[in-house]
Amino acid sequence: EDQVTQSPEALRLQEGESSSLNCSYTVSGLRGLFWYRQDPGKGPEFLFTLYSAGEEKEKERLKATLTKKESFLHITAPKPEDSATYLCAVQEGSWGKLQFGAGTQVVVTP
């Protein structure tokens, strides 16, 4: 069965302490891998789409990378405003069906 697994479940960082989140997946035909950020009480906010192994995308302190079996979201020198739950999702098929992981809750303390 196709699966998306994120680790760790939770991550507590000091401001400025860089770290990485992992998203491993087993799908038969990857159409795209997506990273979202979700703040408490809000809907997920789109961050990145990655299509093929070796691809990288950056936005401010976030950088997403993709291999054939996993994706990493690197947070460089995080700030408290980077605190959120980061969700990974993979697309199966052509009609936009996304399968989400359980997320990694990140807390950045000053």
Partner 1 sequence: DTAVSQTPKYLVTQMGNDKSIKCEQNLGHDTMYWYKQDSKKFLKIMFSYNNKELIINETVPNRFSPKSPDKAHLNLHINSLELGDSAVYFCASSQDLAHRGAFTYNEQFFGPGTRLTVL
Q: Which range of residues in 17-25, 40-48, 64-72, 74-82 is near partner 1 by CB under 8 A? A: 40-48
Which residue bears the tokens 């980077």? 82
Residues 48-67 close enough to bind partner 1 by CB under 8 A:
49, 51
Quote the Cα angle for 82-84-88, to 5°: 110
Question: In this chain, which of 22, 57, 72, 100 binds partner 1, going by CB under 8 A?
Answer: 100
Of 42 and 68, which has the nearer Cβ to partner 1?
42
Strands (E), the chain: 3-7, 10-14, 19-26, 30-38, 45-50, 56-59, 62-66, 70-75, 84-92, 97-100, 104-109
Q: Which range of residues in 12-20, 22-30, 65-73, 93-101 is near partner 1 by CB under 8 A? A: 93-101
- Report the C-alpha gap between 97 and 49 in whole angstroms: 14
By the rule CB under 8 A, 28 interacts with partner 1:
no
Tell me how many residues contact partner 1 (CB under 8 A): 25
Residues near partner 1 (CB under 8 A) are 31-32, 34, 36, 41-46, 49, 51, 85, 87, 89, 91, 94-100, 102-103
